[in-house]
């Protein structure tokens, strides 16, 4: 391989897009750029109380253009000419309604401000009822249970539930929607100029994990099933896709328009997209039976296993097992927690209320000081709480929380579930509650590890990626103590973008396999958190309480649902 070759990985996260230009030889970072989605940052098109989270396609396109151009500018002169490939990852399931040309409806003038014409972000779960209907029908309709490769429970965070919800809610969008496209499919299609929804190269990762696509079914669920689910879906299957592609496959080269917009040459090969977590797992150097946890606002927990090991075994209650979704040729298994960093951010926001509603109005401060105070506290609060919480002893009869503030993704998806804080006394303070919230997210992580094991999938180690893994040694130590396994954190600050770059190198033909790219381009381990035996023992007792609290909350939700 020409050691001068460079590749680009683009990582569309929840709040921002990050682009990394890296050496294809050793993965060394040449330059990076980040762009915060401006409309999203302003809270546009979202309604947290209704669990509605939408993103405008322009946030993505502006971010792509800005970060690639900026990264090229920050790289040594001549770098642009050496770029061989570009691959992208995105959040998901994050689908959007498109017209016959594959244009997201929100890019048409008449839908410009309509949230239903925008990307439905992964964490939007307005579609709770639709998911329940899909689950009920899959079990009762007499045909194949299409949820079988997605853990047996379809989630409101996924493709069909989301699009059905929008089709029902918004007749104008229903009328104009020719097809539906995942964010990770749309970006490569746009920049290669191949947006026809009927021929667009669709990601195996997205389709297999979120759209009930499987080779055994001959692709997506049958027309009959979809029509039974809702007449709104009649005929849609034929306007979606039959084939899917792993991310070692090229979509094509940059269109001349986009080569120009990005400041790159038109020979750059563009790979099939995938979800951020899956490419991040590759960037974090996933190997068989090592659980990769991407710990950000939520978590995505991934494992790869050789197809021969798993046989026909299905792992119950996880988010899916898909051939080639992470590494081509391996079964990719995905699980995850619906909220992780979001739980801590939620508590921060609750605690910010007096500052935002009283301090920031106080005549004791001038306007400038008011804004700065809000900024200062927002930025430092979680770190300050962590510092204090680290000194709170583990108390087996103390505060116990449940981390289901955003429902539960795995094991056994249920978006109706809610969070709780119990064991409160008049002496309970903010750091004590914060510690219990951290412990609850660690217990949620343990539930996933235990499910894999009880389903016969061994777990030999844990690698942690993502913002929380890099930033909070307090939180990571609690997770290591609760899981009672060592947790390794890779050196790379951008494992998702690095993973995308690894795929770009394969797509560009610089490596013959993803494994080869991973071996050469991986960044190695930076930190290892080792569990403390005494704390681990205490947490085993607390974990039983967590389990019982979860059972109580789940029974309550069932009961309320039956009464409605």
Residues 6+ positions from 384 with CB-CB distance below 8 Å: none
Question: Minimum CB separation from its own copies for residue 389, in Å?
Answer: 11
Which residue lies nearer to its own copies by CB, 311 or 427? Answer: 427
Question: Minimum CB separation from its own copies for residue 544, in Å?
Answer: 9
Determine if 367 is a binding residue for its own copies (CB under 8 A): no
Question: Minimum CB separation from its own copies for residue 448, in Å?
Answer: 20
Q: Are strands 461-465 and 290-295 parallel, antiparallel or unpaired?
A: parallel
Residue 93, preceding peptide bond in cis (omega within 30° of 0): yes
Instruction: Give the separation between CA 348 and CA 358, rounded to whole angstroms.
Output: 16
φ, ψ of residue 483 to 5 degrees: the values are: -75, -25
Question: Is the distance from CB of 156 to CB of 134 less than 8 angstroms?
Answer: no
Q: Which of 428, 473, 520, 547 binds its own copies (CB under 8 A)?
A: 428
φ, ψ of residue 336 to 5 degrees: the values are: 165, 165
Q: Which residues inside 322-351 make contact with its own copies, applying CB under 8 A?
A: 339, 342, 346, 349-351
Question: Minimum CB separation from its own copies for residue 341, in Å?
Answer: 11
Helix (H) or strand (E) holding 324: none
Which residue lies nearer to its own copies by CB, 255 or 422? Answer: 422
Part in contact with its own copies (CB under 8 A); list of ranges 16-24, 66-74, 366-374, 511-519: 366-374
Part in contact with its own copies (CB under 8 A); list of ranges 149-157, 219-227, 377-385, 515-523: 377-385
Question: Minimum CB separation from its own copies for residue 562, in Å?
Answer: 12
Q: Which of 372, 491, 530, 540 binds its own copies (CB under 8 A)?
A: 372
Neighbours of 524 (CB within 10 A): 10
Which residue lies nearer to its own copies by CB, 124 or 182? Answer: 124
Environment class of 323 (CB within 10 Å of its CB; exposed 0-12, middle 13-18, buried 19+): middle
Report which of 529, 521, 52, 96 is spatially closest to residue 295, judged by C-alpha positions.
529
Tokens representing residue 399 in the block: 């505060």
Which residue lies nearer to its own copies by CB, 158 or 340? Answer: 340
Which residue lies nearer to its own copies by CB, 78 or 427? Answer: 427
φ, ψ of residue 404 to 5 degrees: the values are: -95, 35
- Cα 42 → chain centroid: 21
CA 405 vs CA 123, 296, 351, 420, 463: distances in Å: 12, 15, 16, 8, 25
Which residue lies nearer to its own copies by CB, 22 or 339? Answer: 339
Q: Are strands 83-90 and 269-271 parallel, antiparallel or unpaired?
A: parallel
Report which of 283, 205, 216 is spatially closest to residue 244, judged by C-alpha positions.
205
Determine if 358 is a binding residue for its own copies (CB under 8 A): yes
Instruction: Give the separation between CA 401 and CA 423, rounded to whole angstroms.
Output: 8
Question: Minimum CB separation from its own copies for residue 144, in Å?
Answer: 34
Part in contact with its own copies (CB under 8 A); list of ranges 2-10, 379-387, 445-453, 511-519: 379-387
Which residue lies nearer to its own copies by CB, 308 or 563? Answer: 563
CA 412 vs CA 79, 135, 316, 454: distances in Å: 47, 12, 8, 14
Neighbours of 417 (CB within 10 A): 22
Determine if 359 is a binding residue for its own copies (CB under 8 A): yes
Helix (H) or strand (E) holding 325: none
Which residue lies nearer to its own copies by CB, 101 or 555? Answer: 555
Instruction: Give the separation between CA 291 and CA 112, rounded to whole angstroms.
Output: 41
Query: What are all long-range contacts of 524-528, with beta carbons under 8 Å and residues at least 24 apart?
Result: 524/490, 524/491, 525/488, 525/489, 525/490, 525/491, 526/489, 526/490, 526/491, 527/473, 527/476, 527/488, 527/489, 528/486, 528/487, 528/488, 528/489
Part in contact with its own copies (CB under 8 A); list of ranges 162-170, 188-196, 422-430, 474-482: 422-430
Q: Which residues inside 48-107 make contact with its own copies, applying CB under 8 A?
A: 48-51
- DSSP for 486-503 reads -EEEES-S-HHHHHHHHH
Which residue lies nearer to its own copies by CB, 108 or 351? Answer: 351
- Cα 285 → chain centroid: 18
Neighbours of 559 (CB within 10 A): 10
Q: Which of 174, 423, 467, 535 binds its own copies (CB under 8 A)?
A: 423
Which residue lies nearer to its own copies by CB, 198 or 350? Answer: 350
Q: Which residues inside 533-552 make contact with its own copies, applying CB under 8 A?
A: 541, 545, 548-549, 552
Which residue lies nearer to its own copies by CB, 26 or 396? Answer: 396
Which residue lies nearer to its own copies by CB, 330 or 442? Answer: 442
First and final CA of the chain: distance in angstroms?
A: 64
Q: Which of 430, 459, 473, 532 binds its own copies (CB under 8 A)?
A: 430
Instruction: Give the separation between CA 216 and CA 213, rounded to whole angstroms.
Output: 9
Which residue lies nearer to its own copies by CB, 305 or 385? Answer: 385
Q: Which residues inside 15-54 make contact with its own copies, applying CB under 8 A?
A: 48-51
Question: Minimum CB separation from its own copies for residue 479, in Å?
Answer: 20
Which residue lies nearer to its own copies by CB, 110 or 556? Answer: 556
Tokens representing residue 553 in the block: 């909350």
* Binding residues for its own copies, total number by CB under 8 A: 60
Q: Which of 376, 460, 526, 528 binds its own copies (CB under 8 A)?
A: 376
Q: Which of 323, 431, 484, 554 binds its own copies (CB under 8 A)?
A: 431
Residues in the chain: 564
Instruction: Give the separation between CA 438 and CA 421, rounded to whole angstroms.
Output: 12
Question: Is the distance from CB of 285 to CB of 463 less than 8 angstroms?
Answer: yes
Tokens representing residue 93 in the block: 């399931």
Determine if 445 is a binding residue for its own copies (CB under 8 A): no
Question: Minimum CB separation from its own copies for residue 399, in Å?
Answer: 8
Interface characters, 380-419, with its own copies (x: CB under 8 A): xx--xx--x-------xx----x--xx-----------xx
Which residue lies nearer to its own copies by CB, 251 or 437? Answer: 437
Question: Minimum CB separation from its own copies for residue 275, in Å?
Answer: 21
Residue numbers of the site for its own copies (CB under 8 A)? 48-51, 339, 342, 346, 349-355, 357-359, 362, 364-365, 369, 372-373, 376-377, 380-381, 384-385, 388, 396-397, 402, 405-406, 418-431, 433, 541, 545, 548-549, 552-553, 556, 560, 563-564
């Amino acid at each position: 391989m020409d050691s001068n070759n460079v590749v680009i990985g683009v990582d569309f996260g929840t709040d921002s897009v990050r682009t990394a230009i890296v050496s294809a030889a050793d993965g060394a970072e040449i330059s990076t750029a980040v762009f915060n989605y401006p409309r999203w940052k302003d809270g546009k098109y979202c309604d947290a109380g209704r669990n509605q989270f939408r993103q405008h396609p322009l946030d993505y396109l502006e971010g792509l253009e800005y970060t690639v151009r900026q990264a090229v500018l920050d790289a040594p002169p001549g770098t642009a000419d050496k770029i061989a490939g570009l691959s992208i990852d995105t959040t998901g399931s994050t689908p959007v309604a498109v017209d016959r040309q594959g244009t997201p409806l929100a890019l048409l003038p008449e839908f410009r401000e309509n949230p239903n014409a925008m990307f439905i972000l992964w964490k939007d779960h307005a579609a709770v009822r639709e998911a329940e209907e899909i689950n009920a029908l899959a079990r009762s309709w007499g045909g194949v249970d299409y949820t079988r490769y997605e853990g047996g429970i379809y989630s409101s965070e996924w493709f069909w539930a989301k699009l059905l919800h929008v089709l029902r809610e918004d007749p104008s969008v229903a009328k104009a929607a020719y097809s539906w496209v995942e964010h990770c499919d749309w970006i490569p299609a746009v920049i290669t100029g191949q947006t026809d929804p009927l021929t667009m190269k669709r990601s195996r990762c997205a389709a297999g994990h979120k759209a009930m696509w499987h080779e055994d079914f001959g692709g997506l669920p049958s027309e009959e099933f979809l029509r039974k689910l809702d007449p709104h879906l009649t005929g849609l299957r034929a306007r979606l896709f039959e084939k899917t592609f792993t991310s070692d496959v090229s979509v094509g080269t940059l269109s001349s328009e986009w080569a120009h917009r990005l400041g790159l040459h038109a020979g750059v090969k563009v790979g099939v997209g995938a979800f951020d977590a899956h490419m991040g797992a590759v960037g974090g150097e996933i190997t068989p039976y090592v659980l990769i946890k991407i710990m950000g606002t939520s978590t995505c927990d991934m494992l790869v296993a050789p197809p021969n090991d798993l046989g026909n075994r299905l792992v119950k209650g996880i988010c899916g097992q898909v051939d080639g979704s992470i590494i081509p040729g391996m079964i990719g298994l995905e699980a995850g927690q619906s909220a992780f960093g979001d739980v801590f951010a939620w508590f921060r926001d609750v605690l910010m209320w007096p500052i935002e509603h009283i301090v920031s109005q106080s005549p004791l401060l001038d306007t400038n000081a008011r804004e700065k105070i809000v900024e200062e506290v927002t930025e430092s609060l979680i770190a300050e709480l962590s510092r204090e919480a680290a000194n709170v002893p583990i108390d087996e009869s103390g505060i116990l929380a449940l981390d289901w503030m955003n429902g539960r993704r795995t094991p056994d998806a249920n978006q109706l579930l809610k969070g709780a804080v119990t064991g409160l006394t008049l002496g309970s303070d903010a750091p004590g509650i914060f510690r219990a919230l951290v412990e609850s997210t660690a217990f949620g992580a343990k539930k996933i590890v235990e499910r894999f094991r009880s389903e016969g999938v061994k777990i030999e180690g844990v690698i942690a990626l993502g913002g929380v893994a890099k930033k909070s040694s307090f939180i990571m130590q609690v997770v290591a103590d609760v899981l009672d396994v060592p947790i390794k954190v890779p050196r790379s600050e951008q494992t998702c973008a690095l993973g995308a770059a690894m795929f770009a190198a394969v797509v560009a033909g610089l490596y013959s396999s993803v494994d080869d790219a991973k071996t050469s381009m991986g960044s190695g381990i930076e930190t290892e958190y080792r569990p403390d035996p005494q704390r681990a023992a205490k947490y085993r007792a607390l974990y039983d309480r967590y389990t019982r609290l979860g059972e109580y909350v789940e029974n309550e939700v069932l009961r309320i649902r039956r009464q409605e």
